[in-house]
Amino acid sequence: MLCAQTAFSQDSTTHFVVGVTANSAMNYYGRVDSLKSKGLYPFVGVNFSNGLYVNANFVFIHNNLQSQYAATLVEGGWNFHNKKNSWSGSLSTTRYIYQGNTDLIQSAIKQSVAASITQLNKVVNITIGGDVKFSSQADPGAQAGLDHIIKFSRVFGKGVIVLDPSVFVYAGTQHFTQTYLQQQHFLLFPAGEEVVTKDSREFSILSYEASLPMILVYKKYSLILSPAYVLPRHVLTGNAPALFYTTATLKFTL
């Protein structure tokens, strides 16, 4: 999915962050455009000591027909946790600013707000969350997932490697218009065709996703590789095929 870069953790200092993310298959809950575009997202941001953050992603797409700047995503939010580090959560809002004639699969979305909370423990972390996406109308969504953090310290001296196998399910509504030709009849005889348009709104499962984020932190640099396997659901033309894609992020913290 196309999303902004948020902080992985909260600490006691303020940081400026710059980096770039590459996406092997841009998708929206597993749905891809007909050109199967790839993405490149340079980003800048600042994470404040109190957990507040703001960042901007500059989205460039590449496919067989074009390579171009497509959109800017501006996100602000708050990452928080309790003193015992047994709970963590986030609140955020994102504004989507598209280039004219951009062919992004989710380009109808103008803004979104989201919230999530995670119960942290040594066995499995449990996350639940919700969001609302605003286009011509508002579409509420929900997510739930499990993950388990595996940490290796003192890699290359002062480096740290974190593995975070995760499984998530996403649900929500999607406003869409379905148009088709319907055969008309008079008595038993064909009487031409009529264009029929139906509006549909239904809260349903959007996708299931399994991923294995791998994070290498060395001094001020972070390298994040995240292969993911997603099963789209609730698609107009039937269930779309499963998608395997990978994101890779290089981040520098000042």
CATH number where 221 lies: 2.40.160.40
Identify whether 135 is part of a domain.
yes
Domain assignment of residue 44, yes or no: yes
pLDDT digits (tens, 9 = 90+) for 29-63: 998 887 889 999 999 999 999 999 999 999 999 99
Question: Is position 34 within any domain?
Answer: yes
pLDDT the model gives residue 35: 84
Q: Decide if pLDDT at 156 tops 90.
A: no
Using CB atoms within 10 Å of the CB of residue 55, give its burial: 0 to 12 exposed, 13 to 18 middle, 19+ buried. buried
Cβ(158)–Cβ(220) under 8 Å?
no
Asked if the model's pLDDT at residue 181 lies above 70, the reply is: no
Percent of the chain exceeding pLDDT 90 equals 67
Residue pointed to by tokens 């869409």:
176
Residue 181 within any structural domain of the chain? no
Residue 1 resides in a domain: no
Would you say residue 17 has pLDDT above 70?
A: yes
Residue 66 structural domain:
15-172+204-253
User: Measured between alpha carbons, how far is 124 from 113 in angstroms, rounded to an integer?
Assistant: 26
In a domain, 8, yes or no: no
Name the band, by pLDDT with cuts 50, 70 and 90, for residue 236. Answer: low
pLDDT for the residue numbered 182: 45
Q: Are 226 and 245 in contact (CB under 8 A)?
A: no
In this structure, is residue 248 part of a structural domain?
yes
**Assigned domain for 183 exists:** no
Share of the chain above pLDDT 70, in %: 82
pLDDT for the residue numbered 3: 52
pLDDT of residue 57: 97
Q: Mean pLDDT for the chain?
A: 86
What is the C-alpha to C-alpha distance for residues 200 and 194, in angstroms, rounded to an integer?
Answer: 19
Residue-level pLDDT at 235:
65
pLDDT band at 10 (very low <50, low <70, confident <90, very high): low
pLDDT score for 48 = 96
pTM attached to this predicted model: 0.85
**Cα-Cα-Cα-Cα dihedral sign, residues 229, 79, 86, 143:** negative
Separation in Å, CA 238 to CA 84, 104, 180? 46, 21, 15
Over residues 207-221, the mean pLDDT reads 96
Type of residue found at 103: D
Residue 127 has pLDDT above 90, yes or no: yes
Domain count, the chain: 1
* Euclidean distance between CA atoms 27 and 43, whole angstroms: 19
End-to-end CA distance of the chain, in Å? 27
